[in-house]
Amino acid sequence: MVSLRRARQDDAADVAALLVELGYPDNEVDAVEQRLAMWAREPAGIVLVAQLNGRVVGTVAVTAIPYLEREGRWGRIVALVVSAECRGQGVGRQLVEAAEAAAGDLGCVTMEVTSARGRTESHPFYRSLGYQDWADRSTRYLKDLVPGALSRKYGARFPASP
Ligand SMILES: CC(C)(COP(=O)(O)OP(=O)(O)OC[C@H]1O[C@@H](n2cnc3c(N)ncnc32)[C@H](O)[C@@H]1OP(=O)(O)O)[C@@H](O)C(=O)NCCC(=O)NCCS
């Protein structure tokens, strides 16, 4: 039986383990605890966890970004992961649906998520939930404000397509 709730600071160890599964091995529990505290104070965002049989097995973070050119905001899924042994049981779907509901409560009229090309599971997953791939209509530009911030965290993990 899956249940969802807001993440608490004492979920830090479980959330850190999930972030390691997502591919970010340098997530120390203390740092994740501080980030969860920051998210708890964030008025335009939320972190949720999914519990299966009382154990945290998934997490999603979503934030609401205001549009300027139109009314409303868009919700951006910042992170989503379900523990490998619990995939395929509807946990990810429930997390995304809860993230969408939270985004709706924050005034969002659309949703957005980016996912590395190499994440082969996530693309059919998002499509099955109604997300459309707009990569042929927009390009994603990124830039470091702190030197090396992108390359240290993502460069090796997500190499460019040949
Ligand atoms: C992507 C992820 C969150 C999906 O979570 P999940 O709990 O396994 O997904 P669900 O069981 O809720 O699947 C929902 C639907 O997505 C589709 N789906 C999920 N995984 C799929 C896969 N590997 N291949 C094809 N379709 C898949 C199915 O249509 C499924 O519908 P169904 O329940 O009617 O069969 C999970 O696989 C994961 O954590 N992957 C690694 C991290 C990752 O890629 N995160 C996303 C980063 S942007």
For residue range 88-133, list pLDDT tens digits in order. Answer: 999 999 999 999 999 999 999 999 999 999 999 999 999 999 999 9
Q: Which two tokens stand for residue 98?
A: 């809860």
Q: Between the CA of residue 28 and those of 20, 46, 121, 125, what are the distances in Å?
A: 9, 20, 26, 28
- Measured in Å, residue 60 CA sits from the centre of ligand 1 at 13
- C-alpha to C-alpha distance for 82 and 120, rounded to whole angstroms: 14
Phi and psi angles of residue 117, each rounded to the nearest 5 degrees, phi first? -55, -35
Strand partners, 59: 49, 81
Beta-strand relationship, 73-82 and 108-113: parallel
Closest CA to 32 of 5, 59, 65: 59
Q: Which pLDDT band, with edges at 50, 70 and 90, does 162 fall under?
A: low
Q: Ligand 1: which residue has its CA nearest to atom 32?
A: 90
- C-alpha to C-alpha distance for 58 and 84, rounded to whole angstroms: 9
Q: Which CATH architecture has domain 2-155?
A: 3-Layer(aba) Sandwich (3.40)
pTM score, whole prediction: 0.96
In the chain, where the domains are located: 2-155
Whether residue 102 contacts residue 46, with contact meaning beta carbons closer than 8 Å, is answered with yes
pLDDT at 135: 94
Of 121, 122, 131, 157, best ligand 1 pocket probe by most atoms within 8 Å of the beta carbon? 121
The yes-or-no verdict on residue 44 having pLDDT over 70 is: yes
Q: What is the mean pLDDT of residues 59-80?
A: 98
For residue range 108-119, list pLDDT tens digits in order. Answer: 999 999 999 999
pLDDT at 99: 98
